[in-house]
Amino acid sequence: MDRYTARKQIIADLESQDLLEKIEDHKLMVPRGDRSNSVIEPFLTDQWYVKVGPLAEPAIKAVENGDIRFVPDNWKNTYYDWMRNIEDWCISRQIWWGHRIPAWYDDEGNIYVARSEEDVRKKHQLPDDFKLTQDEDVLDTWFSSALWPFSTLGWPEKTEALKTFYPTSVLVTGFDIIFFWVARMIMMGLKFMGDVPFKEVYIHGLVRDSHGDKMSKSKGNVLDPIDLIDGIELEPLVEKRTSGMMHPKMARKIEQQTRQDFPDGIPAFGTDALRFTFAAMASTGRDIKFDLQRTEGYRNFCNKLWNAARYVLMNTEGEDCGESGGALQLSVADRWIISRLQITKQSVTDAINGYRFDHAAKTIYEFTWNEYCDWYLELSKPVLQSDESSAAAKRGARHTLVTLLESLLRLAHPIMPFITEEIWQQVAPLAGRSGETIMLQPYPTCATDAIDEQALTEMEWVMQFILGIRRIRGEMNIKPSKPLPVLLQNGGKQDAANLESNRHYLDALARLESITWLTIDQDAPESATALVGEMKVLIPMAGLIDKEAELTRLDKELTKRQKDLERITGKLSNANFVNKAPAAVVEKEQKKANDLKTAIAQLRSQLEKIQSL
């Protein structure tokens, strides 16, 4: 009988025989299945077990002696803790699908174990008409999965695939199945193959939602990668998250949360942006709080790379890029970016070898955006656009543009395969590369002999000079288009040499009207100052800004920021808000307050500078 029906019948039977004294309500915790929501009650059944102790011992030694290495290393302690306290393994499951337990029963309950029913009959000399029934249980999923490294390669036959690919080099997995899968594969591999199944185990974090919760269909917080790649409107997203739920009662709550988190649905980010997001967030073994803003940022990065490629192609297609054998004159900027590329290659290679995909992605991002796009492409313009540049110098700039971009595409290809392939098809011929696809090209390696220390030092001087001018423009609210007179003080011979060699870069990128050296006994007028090493870069303020108007503007901006800070500080000091609002909301408000404090300090500093003029 059904348990609930049986309970009612027992009460009825007791009452009919006048054996029931009383019924009392009793409140107790009732465990329920997290998927079915059914009440879970003990039900004793016979199960099959594996004695694991003899299997665990060599598996522990394999990690202790370095045959298998965990990355990050600390996860080996989790492995040891489990393996040194391991209990016998229940391998039978009462589910519909899986590998049947290889055990057969006769009508008297005797058990026969063999590879097949035919082997049972042969081993025990049982006639064909002797009734045997196979155990209805199936093997535990992890038991079958533990055989994966060799069973997929043709084992128990000694196949060429098994010889070639066992053991493999790396297993990539999450920390939550170290016990269930990793340990069992090691035990089974050592038992049946006499060798470890892999040399290294790379443990990554779990991808959680923006609130830090584990993604689960029952919670309705799963993000489908296809929706992030192609985009999805709000209503289809709500329907997708609330349909076919195991707990329909939660649908309303999930709908509200979805509308709050994605009021406009999810825009299309593309595959490369999503892949780059995961690489950039793949810190060592920690969980990943997935944030769409990061993906949006890396979509912008894809756009940056695409636009950089357009600039390169516009300036190199149909032009001599140095492949004709003509003279190449590499500028200090050319030699600098070539040097920076070699250093970047080595950093990316080291990061990948150390399984720090986040470091690799960050290095590629910073080199591409900050150095190649923001600096080198701009530094190439004075050379390519000036009538005073020699043919050899222009050829050198074009050669550097295409060869740098081609190398950069190969460097980023494993993380961003689609956009790099698309651009490479257009750039490769200009860079002297042949081949049908970037996938078959060699991965870039560092050429240490191409690192020019003098160019690195000189370009650092140029960039500090330009950044100093730009900072003063920003602080004093001077238009970027306005040419500025510059005074130099305390400079040495090297500063003078750098200035003479790179004046065209400074004039073009810093928008300078003039540069004048001050003698030791000359007093500088009231000026805004930037430092490049020991040298002072001075911009006289007379006539550049309306002092009173700028003070009024800064005072107005300062008052506005202070009011915003007071409002947010009041909110954060409200116990009801802090205790009831989601942690992410409180954290966001705290960040706003910190940003406002920084902005206010900068505005006050600017006020003081202008007041002193």
Residues 374 and 420 both lie in one domain: yes
136 within domain boundaries: no
201 within domain boundaries: no
63 within domain boundaries: no
Residues 312 and 219 both lie in one domain: no
Residues 361 and 420 both lie in one domain: yes
Q: Given this model, what pLDDT does residue 246 score?
A: 65
Q: Position of tokens 């004046």?
A: 503
Query: DSSP readout, 158-213?
Result: --HHHHHHSSEEEEEEEGGGIIIIIHHHHHHHHHHTSS-SEEEEEEEPPEE-TTSP
What are the φ and ψ backbone dihedral angles of 6, each rounded to 5 degrees?
A: -65, -40
Low-confidence stretches of the chain (pLDDT beneath 50): none
What is each CA distance from 430 to 323, 383, 442, in whole angstroms? 8, 19, 17
Angstrom distance (rounded) from CA 438 to CA 553: 53
Q: Which of 399, 431, 451 delimits the end of a domain?
A: 451
Residues 220 and 309 both lie in one domain: no
Nearby residues of 220 by Cβ (< 8 Å), 6 or more positions away: 241, 242, 245, 250, 251, 253, 254, 257, 258
Q: Given this model, what pLDDT does residue 209 score?
A: 84
Q: Given this model, what pLDDT does residue 137 score?
A: 96
The CATH number for 325's domain is: 1.10.730.10
Residues 252 and 383 both lie in one domain: no
44 within domain boundaries: no
102 within domain boundaries: no
Q: How crowded is the C-beta side of 234, counted as CA atoms within 13 Å?
A: 10
Q: Given this model, what pLDDT does residue 355 score?
A: 92
Query: DSSP readout, 502-567?
Result: HHHHHHHHHTEEEEEEPPTTPPPPSEEEEEETTEEEEEE-TTTS-HHHHHHHHHHHHHHHHHHHHH
Nearby residues of 474 by Cβ (< 8 Å), 6 or more positions away: none
Residues 341 and 429 both lie in one domain: yes
Q: How crowded is the C-beta side of 131, counted as CA atoms within 13 Å?
A: 4
Residues 532 and 551 both lie in one domain: no
Residues 345 and 440 both lie in one domain: yes
Domain count, the chain: 4
The total number of residues shown for the chain amounts to 613
Burial class (CB within 10 angstroms; exposed 0-12, middle 13-18, buried 19+) of 179: middle
Residues 316 and 447 both lie in one domain: yes
Q: Given this model, what pLDDT does residue 102 score?
A: 95
Among the residues of 433-492, which ranges form H helices? 453-476
What are the φ and ψ backbone dihedral angles of 92, each rounded to 5 degrees?
A: -100, 145
275 within domain boundaries: no
Q: Given this model, what pLDDT does residue 359 score?
A: 95
Contact 298, 257 (CB under 8 A): no
Q: Which of 217, 248, 268 delimits the end of a domain?
A: 268
368 within domain boundaries: yes
What are the φ and ψ backbone dihedral angles of 28, each rounded to 5 degrees?
A: -145, 160
Residues 252 and 319 both lie in one domain: no
605 within domain boundaries: yes
Nearest to 379, CA basis, from 439, 466, 314, 293? 466
Angstrom distance (rounded) from CA 416 to CA 275: 7
Nearby residues of 274 by Cβ (< 8 Å), 6 or more positions away: 225, 228, 229, 295, 298
CA 110 distance to own-chain centroid: 56
Burial class (CB within 10 angstroms; exposed 0-12, middle 13-18, buried 19+) of 493: exposed
Burial class (CB within 10 angstroms; exposed 0-12, middle 13-18, buried 19+) of 77: exposed
Report the chain's C-alpha Rg in angstroms: 35
Burial class (CB within 10 angstroms; exposed 0-12, middle 13-18, buried 19+) of 282: buried
Contact 507, 486 (CB under 8 A): no
Residues 308 and 414 both lie in one domain: yes
The amino acid at 179: F
Domain span including residue 249:
208-268
Residues 594 and 525 both lie in one domain: no
